[in-house]
Structure 1
Amino acid sequence: MLKLYTDSQYITPANRRIVFPLLFDLCYTNNLKLLEKYQMVSHINDCDIVVVPVDVTHFIESNKKEWLYAFIDTALGLQKKVWVYTAGDFGYSINKSVFTFRMSGFNSQLNARTFILPSFISDPYTLVQKEFRPIVKTLLPKVGFVGHASPSASKWIKEALLYLFHNYKRVTKQRYTDYQPFYPSSIKRYQFLSLLQKSDQIGTHFIFRNQYRAGVKTEIDKNKTTLAFFENIKANPYTFCLRGAGNYSVRFYETLAMGRIPFVVDTDFRLPLEGIVNWKKHCIIVSGKNVRDALIEFHQKISHEDFEEMQTNNRNLWLNHLNREAYFTTIYSVFKEKV
């Protein structure tokens, strides 16, 4: 069992949305399986790991940076490992010898103590109400996509303005995130998808949305578009995935959860549990220069048996490593060896 210490004054109802994700399971929902592996202790001297209770930017934006750094330095001075969480699409790096958990970032800029969090989604099969079954290999690769993709100049302008506004907030210290270059994701998606559509060697099943979630307003419409999204993933062995505002794709994890094969463009991302998961066995990662040819070549080379097995393995990967409970069970195994 790993013993964790945090400052419990921050474990409040108001902080549920920004709390370190594992603490949500241990302190708010009392996940019994995780409580078998992690124990909260009331004194820092008794712990294996010190956990900063909420998103680190909360302290900085609330003028509590000195408290944050003192808390971390005290733990490091006691030779404790320290876990911190940085939320949001971009994340924020602090210059301390801590283990950072975040959704995204650029692999070339992240240190070895940075752990990528999956998008913690509910099992899609509870929505589509069908059991997982692998798709049989056909002559041509079938790739699906439902989502925000647009070629319009107005969309590019809108994304550019949002990018400039965010960076104004960042430069003026109203918002604390790492810098990232401009990447008009909806435009890029449309360009890559159009390239795939033009090939007579690829079967494409795309639904383009001009807005995120098709701009739906009502709960009924939201449920309809969500169901259409997952039905598209279920119907196609491959799903095209590309980063959004942050350098990660929620669709990537939704595809794995459905037991399908993510076809993802490499944007210098880091995936969860690298060194534990051999990602080359679970997805197709391509550069932006060979999207069409890479998919065709992969599909031609993979056997019928391996094609179906890959889908089954992807479903099992999500069940055993990437949903919320499974992820922190795996993290437990990683850090149990370190203490």
Structure 2
Amino acid sequence: MITKEMKIFIEDISCDLKNKRELFILTRPFWTNKGWSNSSKESPNWDDLEDYSFTDNVLEAQVYFIPLPINQYPKEKLDEINELCQKNKIKAYGYISGDFGENLGNYENIVFFRMGGFKSQLGDNNKGFPVPLSDHFQRLFHHDHPIPSDKSSKPIIGFCGHASLSQKKRLKEILKCIKENCRRFFKNYKRKDWEPMFASAYERAKLLQLFTKSSLIKTNFIFRSQYRAGAQTEEQRTKTTLEYYNNIKDSDYVLCVRGAGNFSVRLYETLMMGKIPLFVNTDCLLPFEDKIDWKKHVVWVEWKDRKNILQKVISFHNQLTNEEFLEIQINNRKLWKEILSVKGILELVKNDI
């Protein structure tokens, strides 16, 4: 039965936390410099959360949130949390951090939220999780919502980021995958979740090449030789961030391919900006797949079909009326704002318990 208020138990941690970004984002609305509290909802990021409250008594709680990345906890601690939740007939939720993450097995009463990992390799207690983002559209452009663009005869394909055909860079990325697999082998040589040899900057560049050869689309590409154009100063970061979001704003579709980990930050940034992701699926675990029909929000391209990506986006675009094109843009912004936000995720957890 769904109660009006969801009471959340969060275990005490050290109050001298150096960076609150280390915390599981669903716990941040309740964090203060003195520990967990219901008086900390001062940030505009946490508005309208009156239906959710912290309790320090697990017997009162409907749900247990694990505050730090689950992969920082020893197995014994996870066993303890699982047993406590079983005893109190509640579920624990936490997140697995990092590009590669960990496969921590199955716990009956613990749900693992994660951005990365491979859907076909993971158990049912692993759930996709959106990349946490603040509303950069409002911050940069000073409006509540983007104005959707009308459909043009030729789709505008956008991309701003790290993409390179350099074999040296490709080898460097593959060596990272080999290093990760060696770590996994020495930890447990019987495991089956090996990281594929994937050089993200090289693979993106190959896909972008397919678009540059066509007269049926318009390209809006900014190639970076380094992540965030190698920005070092605050001034450089501000400049490149604005260039990045302007690139999305001035495009119809934005190429979204995995990076070092098997997830795309750009997917969520594109939704935030009210544009349409051109999403290349590499066995990704997307958030709330039982609640969100992702194929209504993106141009979906399976990795095995990537060589046909140009034809797929042209076909998708040509089949839309102007009203349908506008509606997708509006719905994508709405999806990010209402469902993939902290409040939206809390609501989904509340409905599941």
TM-score, normalised on structure 2?
0.86
Q: Deviations over 1:167-194 (max 9, x none)?
A: 33344449xxx64212111110000000
Letter in 2 for 1:122: S
Task: Using the TM superposition, give the Cα deviation of residue 284 of structure 1 relative to its aligned residue in structure 2, in angstroms.
Answer: 0.7
Match of 2:97 among 54, 63, 87: 87
Q: Deviations over 1:50-108 (max 9, x none)?
A: 23232122123xxxx32332232232233321222211222223221221111122122
Task: Using the TM superposition, give the Cα deviation of residue 135 of structure 1 relative to its aligned residue in structure 2, in angstroms.
Answer: 1.1
8 Å CA contact retained: 2:49, 2:343:
no
What residue number does 2:318 align with?
A: 300
Q: How many pairs are equivalent?
A: 330
CA shift in 2, pair 1:88/1:318, >3 Å: same
Letter in 2 for 1:6: I
In the alignment, the residues of structure 2 paired with residue 15 and residue 168 of structure 1 have an alpha-carbon distance, to the nearest angstrom, of 30
Letter in 2 for 1:154: K
Structure 1 gaps of 5+ residues are none
In the alignment, the residues of structure 2 paired with residue 91 and residue 37 of structure 1 have an alpha-carbon distance, to the nearest angstrom, of 32
TM-score, normalised on structure 1?
0.90
1:146 has 2:160 as partner: yes
Letter in 1 for 2:347: T
What residue number does 1:277 align with?
A: 292
8 Å CA contact retained: 1:261, 1:310:
yes
Matches within 5 A, 1:14-33: 14=18, 16-28=20-32, 30-31=40-41, 33=47
In the alignment, the residues of structure 2 paired with residue 221 and residue 207 of structure 1 have an alpha-carbon distance, to the nearest angstrom, of 16
1:39 has 2:53 as partner: yes
1:205 has 2:223 as partner: no
Does the residue aligned with 2:176 lie in a helix, a strand or coil?
helix
8 Å CA contact retained: 1:10, 1:54:
no
Matches within 5 A, 1:227-238: 227-238=242-253
The alignment's C-alpha RMSD in Å is 2.3
Q: What is the percentage of aligned positions where both structures have the same residue?
A: 36
Q: Deviations over 1:241-270 (max 9, x none)?
A: 101011111111111111110011111112
CA shift in 2, pair 1:33/1:222, >3 Å: closer
Moved more, 310-319 or 129-138: 129-138
What residue number does 2:281 align with?
A: 266
In the alignment, the residues of structure 1 paired with residue 49 and residue 150 of structure 2 have an alpha-carbon distance, to the nearest angstrom, of 40
What residue number does 2:333 align with?
A: 315
What residue number does 2:116 align with?
A: 104
8 Å CA contact retained: 1:11, 1:19:
no
In the alignment, the residues of structure 1 paired with residue 284 and residue 206 of structure 2 have an alpha-carbon distance, to the nearest angstrom, of 20
Does the residue aligned with 2:13 lie in a helix, a strand or coil?
helix
Does the residue aligned with 2:21 lie in a helix, a strand or coil?
coil
Moved more, 12-21 or 250-259: 12-21
Task: Using the TM superposition, give the Cα deviation of residue 142 of structure 1 relative to its aligned residue in structure 2, in angstroms.
Answer: 0.8
Q: Deviations over 1:96-141 (max 9, x none)?
A: 1221111122122233333222111121223432541111111111
Letter in 1 for 2:60: D
What residue number does 1:113 align with?
A: 125
CA shift in 2, pair 1:204/1:286, >3 Å: same
8 Å CA contact retained: 1:256, 1:315:
yes
Task: Using the TM superposition, give the Cα deviation of residue 45 of structure 1 relative to its aligned residue in structure 2, in angstroms.
Answer: 2.3
CA shift in 2, pair 1:167/1:109, >3 Å: closer
Letter in 2 for 1:274: E
Moved more, 131-140 or 17-26: 17-26
CA shift in 2, pair 1:173/1:224, >3 Å: same
1:241 has 2:253 as partner: no
8 Å CA contact retained: 1:18, 1:87:
no
